[in-house]
A = this chain, B = another copy of it.
Amino acid sequence: MKEKFVLPEGMIYLDGNSLGPLPVGVEEVVSRMMRDQWGAHLIKGWNVDGWMAQPARVGDMVGRLIGAEPGSVVMGDTLSLKVYQALSAALQMRPERKVVLSDSGNFPTDLYMAEGLIRQLDAGHELRVVAPQEVSDAIDDSVAAVMITQVDYRTGRVHDMDAITAKAQAAGAVMIWDLAHSAGALPVDMAGSGAEFAVGCTYKYLNGGPGAPAFIYVRPDIVHDVDPALAGWLGHEAPFAFDLDYRPGAGIERMRVGTPPVIQLTALERALQVWDGVDMGDIRAASIALSEQFIAEVEVACPELTLASPRDASARGSQVSFHFEQGYAAMQALIARGVIGDFRAPDIMRFGFTPLYLDSDDISQAVDIMSEILRDRLWDAPEYTTRQRVT
């Protein structure tokens, strides 16, 4: 599969969990879209080039990778906004309950969006944040919604989707899964889970490019009862009637808001073709093999690092993290030598394993370079210890 991606010579890219690489063909397809669609058809592109249907069409492509029913996923906006849409709908479904339950391993923007919504509603809601391993025990009948990210962005720890969903629903809570580090990383069975909502982004394992649009899943049997808080015209039943009153569109279409980002969606749609014929079970097996190799080799060659991820592969997503006090500088030194991972405060060195374009040799080479950096303290240089990076 490596030849399906543009990978710079000499770079070992262990950061596909932040931003996937450019798939071969995307540049050409986007150029063609601009020249032959926007450039040639202008406004007519909305009809003749299928732009208006693109959010649902691409949604189904993502849906296949997360075990969602056709017609249950739509693209648009950013993950933060999709979290907001899902949570707002969930709170409306449980007006008598006031607790939003999440965990400290959730990506901060999910918590921020929940905080913002709660402040705005000013109706006595509470965001209750517990440790990841305490989520299940914290579910009780005060909880309106359980809102967690399946794979912890720092440690890679995986929540048990079926067990937590079942517990939440038994307690009468609505379940919202953030699949940011799941989609394209491990098998997900949204339909089988029974969860009401899922959201995710597409610039990580799905390689849609910087700022690629997000997705939202709503369980098909409840979507008709969702009253969208972000009631934009493209979620209207008949956007081009230009009625003054809002009527939500059919099914998942009501989760659309404004004009879709056609250029980004075109890049994403082409990027998703990489997955044609790919089985998520195979990807998961290969990802575990790479991750296990990495942990084993690092623990031998780099004793300064301590594993921050679960040791049990089945409890871990497609990433491995290590604690290291000088993690920031060490990561800069690694990046300078072509091994790209990322740093997450306070001391996490994070590495993503994406079998579509990584193999066993890449892992060994990366560990060799890291071992040299640590052994010779190559990280201890001003150009690495001074914090400048924004991501």
Enumerate chain A interface residues (CB-CB to B < 8 A): 6, 8, 11, 13, 15, 18-19, 21-22, 26-27, 30-31, 34-35, 38-40, 42-47, 51-52, 77-81, 84, 88, 92, 104, 107-109, 111-113, 115-117, 119-123, 129, 201, 203, 209-214, 227-234, 236, 239-246, 257-265, 267, 335, 340, 342, 344-345, 388-391
A121 touches B119 (CB 8 A): no
Number of identical protomers = 2
Write out the residue numbers on chain B whose beta carbons fall within 8 Å of the beta carbon of A18.
Answer: 43
B233 touches A108 (CB 8 A): yes
Q: Which residue of B lies closest to A153 (CB)?
A: B242
Q: Which residue of B lies closest to A45 (CB)?
A: B210
B34 touches A26 (CB 8 A): yes
B39 touches A210 (CB 8 A): no
Query: Roughly how many angstroms separate A24 CA and B74 CA in the complex, as a whole number?
Result: 32
Closest 3 pairs between A and B when the two form their complex, measured CB to CB: A78-B258, A116-B231, A109-B233
Most chain B beta-carbon neighbours within 10 Å: one of A30, A78, A81, A115: A78
Give the distance to chain B from A67, nearest Cβ to Cβ, in Å: 25
- Can you name 18 A-B residue pairings with CB atoms under 8 Å? A8-B42, A19-B38, A22-B39, A27-B39, A30-B31, A46-B391, A47-B390, A51-B210, A77-B258, A107-B233, A108-B236, A109-B258, A115-B231, A115-B245, A116-B231, A211-B260, A211-B263, A241-B345
